[in-house]
Amino acid sequence: MTTTSSATWAPDTFLAAVEAAVWAPSIHNSQPWRFRRTECGIDVLLDHDRVLPICDPDGRSARVSCGAAAYNLLLALAAAEVPAAYVLGRDDALVHLTPAGHRPATPPERRLFRAIRRRHTNRYPFADQQVAPGVTAQLTDAARQEDGWLDFVVGDQAIFALASLIREADNQLNADPAYVTELQAWTHLAEGALEGVGRQAGGPAPHPAELMARRDFGGAAQRQTRDPAREPVVAVLGVHGSQHADEVRAGMALQHVLLTATDLGLAAALFSQPVEVPAIRERLRLAMHRYDDPQLVLRFGFAPTLGYTNRRAVADVVES
């Protein structure tokens, strides 16, 4: 993409793009972002007050979340036919966008833009329905387009090994009362809360027999304890490098993957417990034969949307 020196986007275009950006995923729906319209473009900023001190002490998950929001912003501007070029980590901005002329949106940009409001994190059981073989290649390609990697974990043995890392991390995290207090403050919420995760979106209470240990978001105990999906589709996402800008890029790759999945009719579940415990993140890195830190574990499959999270008003996240 080339940068032009034209003035920044009109206020209406900026606000419409931010309206799309805020529907990005974020750790515990903490929405740790701010958007600033400047004379030469748009800045995506980290809202330091919304970084979760216990589960995200160095702000990694918050930067991944901001990267996902920046990806939505880029898509929204492209869909409005006023696309952006961007640089990562300029001054206090995680992402700095500048106008890149006018052109029609490409069909993938249009499809992914339309998927933004249909994408939700799934915390309910996946159906026993096979994901078509070519789909994993499309998801891997989505990550690659953002300079990321998405490695699928194949075979019962490898999936059980990954699942046991997630469970070990989940147990370690839950042993810290401060972690449990923070998790409960951001989840277990009534429907309609503008931030955090409501009980319905949070899914049923996790059951020890589940393959992949979910966080306890305050849902009611479930009747069905066995996951009906016999061939779970599980992957680990990462990018090359572990600097702050790389974590932002991981968020962009995450959102490109998630929107591609949504566009293909797939639901996705996210597991960040194993990357929140440094020793387990290192074991996961070794298991994946990667030089770079893994950033997130993802599971894809078929599941109806049974709960939604909300977002704060655009006016609460913009500065100019």
Ligand X SMILES: Cc1cc2nc3c(=O)[nH]c(=O)nc-3n(C[C@H](O)[C@H](O)[C@H](O)COP(=O)(O)O)c2cc1C
**Judged by CB under 6 A, which stretch of 22-30, 71-79, 152-160, 284-292 contacts ligand X?**
22-30
For residues 291-304, one letter each, b for 16 or more C-beta atoms within 10 angstroms of the residue's C-beta and e for the rest, the string is ebbbbbbbbbbbbe
Phi then psi for residue 31, to 5 deg, are 50, 60
Q: Which of 164, 197, 172, 163 is nearest to 183 (CA)?
A: 197
Q: Is residue 26 near ligand X by the rule CB under 6 A?
A: yes
The distance of closest approach from Cβ of residue 315 to ligand X in the complex, given in angstroms and rounded to an integer, is 20
Place of tokens 């789909």: 135
Between 82 and 248, name the residue whose CB sits nearer to ligand X: 248
Strands 294-301 and 267-271 turn out to be antiparallel
Between 28 and 50, name the residue whose CB sits nearer to ligand X: 28
Q: Is residue 13 near ligand X by the rule CB under 6 A?
A: no
| x/- track of binding to ligand X for residues 95-134 (CB under 6 A) | -------------------------xx-x-----------
Between 79 and 189, name the residue whose CB sits nearer to ligand X: 189
Which of 215, 249, 256, 299: binder of ligand X (CB under 6 A)?
215
> Considering just the CA atoms, what is the radius of gyration of the chain in Å?
19
Burial status of residue 245 (CB atoms within 10 A of its CB: 0-12, 13-18, 19 or more) = middle
What is the rounded distance in angstroms from the CA atom of residue 222 to the CA atom of residue 33?
Answer: 34
Which of 18, 42, 44, 61: binder of ligand X (CB under 6 A)?
61
Q: Is residue 233 near ligand X by the rule CB under 6 A?
A: no
The distance of closest approach from Cβ of residue 312 to ligand X in the complex, given in angstroms and rounded to an integer, is 12
Which of 9, 17, 22, 25: binder of ligand X (CB under 6 A)?
25
What is the rounded distance in angstroms from the CA atom of residue 36 to the CA atom of residue 149?
Answer: 30
Strand order in the sheet with 33-37: 84-90, 93-99, 42-46, 33-37, 318-319
Q: Is residue 310 near ligand X by the rule CB under 6 A?
A: no
Q: Is residue 41 near ligand X by the rule CB under 6 A?
A: no
Helices (H), the chain: 11-21, 60-79, 107-115, 133-145, 156-174, 177-186, 244-263, 273-276, 278-287
Q: Is residue 37 near ligand X by the rule CB under 6 A?
A: no
The distance of closest approach from Cβ of residue 13 to ligand X in the complex, given in angstroms and rounded to an integer, is 23
Side chain identity at residue 187, one-letter code: T
Which of 22, 80, 82, 270: binder of ligand X (CB under 6 A)?
270
Instruction: Enumerate binding residues for ligand X (CB under 6 A).
Output: 25-29, 61, 64-65, 68, 120-121, 123, 197, 201, 214-215, 270-273, 296, 309
